Amino acid sequence: MNKKIGFLMVTGMGLLLAGCGNQANNKAANSSSASSSSLLVAKSNVKVNSDNMSPQEAVSLISTYCGLRYGGNWAAMAKEAQKEGLQVNLYPSSKYQLSDGGQGVAYDVTAGGKSQGLVYTVNNDDVNIYQNVKENQKSTKLATISKSEMANYVNQEGQGKLVNDLAAKAQVVDKRSGDSNSSASTSNSGNDHKYGRIGTIDVPSEMQGTWYSADNDADSTIKFGPHTFTYSGEKSSTTTQLFKQDSEWGEDEDNYTNEGIQNATKNWGKASFFNMDGSRWLNIRGWVQNAGDGSSYTVKTETIDGKQVKVLVSAGGAGNWVDAVYYQSKDMAQQNADKKFDDLNYQ
């Protein structure tokens, strides 16, 4: 073979391989970040934090992330929701044949209320994402990702403002009772005096965030938002909107037995504060709960292995007896399961 031709063939092949390598590298680079054409709105410097999110903020974060990451129906829904409003309908996960039903609740995300088969389930901070979900048809999740990872991705793409804009008008509608008229739709102000509510309760900032416990041989999670309380056990998760209750409304016993009021307020909590044993406690009861003392919570500092650790104390009963202690990490909760502290009041 002519040496010159051989050289040109080798050189040409090298350039071809280099070109293929550059294309592969470009694909990898592009896959790590959304292109400008795939962004849902213009970029901004607004950042979101997943730690203290209300239910409205959580569904807005998830919708924005999925619109960016998966495009298609998720992106179309997120864009439509900017005009029609974001609404998530809560169903038992058994309504669908999902590969991971999470903690028992399926969140059907819509723009304006009409289902498009965009669903997610939750396992504590992790979210299982689905699309094209239909009843009586098996659905495999697209991915499982934590809300903190979602927030990082959304912030990286400059879409934090969209999360806040969607959350401002978002509605969470609980349809697990089968009553589509039941108003689990959340109101951010809560000062309309409907069913005796006279405003939201402001959860103390030190109490806000996610707390973990492994007491009583069971893993559980409590998350406080600015005006919300979410309890997640091994099989279910419930979010309660925290309101002040008009004392005169509460004195009318007929309100407690009215089925319409019971359905409309099943996700509302009557919240109030009291002082006991040198601590300020937040007490939460069912809106139409006419017996029992509800559950109470306070933040204390305990010494663990020589270090000062902030914990959330859960108590109840006539004596406000401690029933569980929550920590700020799963590992610490496991390491201190059923640990008793000398300064706490146990039954």
Q: Please report the domains of the chain, with CATH numbers, ordered by start residue.
A: 39-174 (3.30.1460.60), 194-335 (no CATH)
Share of the chain above pLDDT 70, in %: 84
Angle separating helix axes 55-70 and 147-156, nearest 10 degrees: 60
The Cα 149–Cα 25 span in angstroms is 24
Q: What are phi and psi of 162, to 5 degrees?
A: -65, -40
Q: Residue 178 above 60 pLDDT?
A: no
Of the candidates 230, 83, 88, 239, which has an alpha carbon nearest to the alpha carbon of residue 165?
Answer: 83
Mean pLDDT of 164-180: 76
Residue 341 has what pLDDT? 95
307, 328 contact by CB (below 8 A)? no
Q: How, if at all, do strands 171-174 and 138-139 pair?
A: unpaired
Residue 55 has what pLDDT? 83
Tokens 């959330």, residue located: 312
Residue 189 has what pLDDT? 52
74 vs 21, residue with greater confidence: 74
pLDDT tens for each residue of 39-72: 888 999 989 988 767 788 899 999 999 999 999 9
Confidence grade of residue 190 (pLDDT, cut at 50, 70, 90): low
Residue 187 has what pLDDT? 43
pLDDT tens for each residue of 223-249: 998 889 999 988 788 889 999 999 888
Confidence grade of residue 173 (pLDDT, cut at 50, 70, 90): confident
Residue 34 has what pLDDT? 53
Confidence grade of residue 169 (pLDDT, cut at 50, 70, 90): confident
Q: Residue 123 above 60 pLDDT?
A: yes
Confidence grade of residue 160 (pLDDT, cut at 50, 70, 90): very high
Work out the mean pLDDT of the chain and round it to a whole number: 84
SS3 annotation, the chain: CCHHHHHHHHHHHHHHHHHHHHHHHHHHHHHCCCCHHHCCCCCCCCCCCCCCCCHHHHHHHHHHHHHHHHCHHHHHHHHHHHHHCEEEEEEEHHHCEECCCCCCEEEEEEECCEEEEEEEEEECCEEEEECCCCCCCEECCCEEEEHHHHHHHHHHCCCHHHHHHHHHHCEEEECCCCCCCCCCCCCCCCCCCHHHEEEECCCCCCCCEEEEECHHHCCEEEEECCCEEEEECCCCEEEEEEEEECHHHHCCCHHHHCHHHHHHCCCEEEEEEEEECCEEEEEEEECCCCCCCCEEEEEEEEEECCEEEEEEEEEECCCCEEEEEEECCHHHHHHCCCCCCCCCCCC
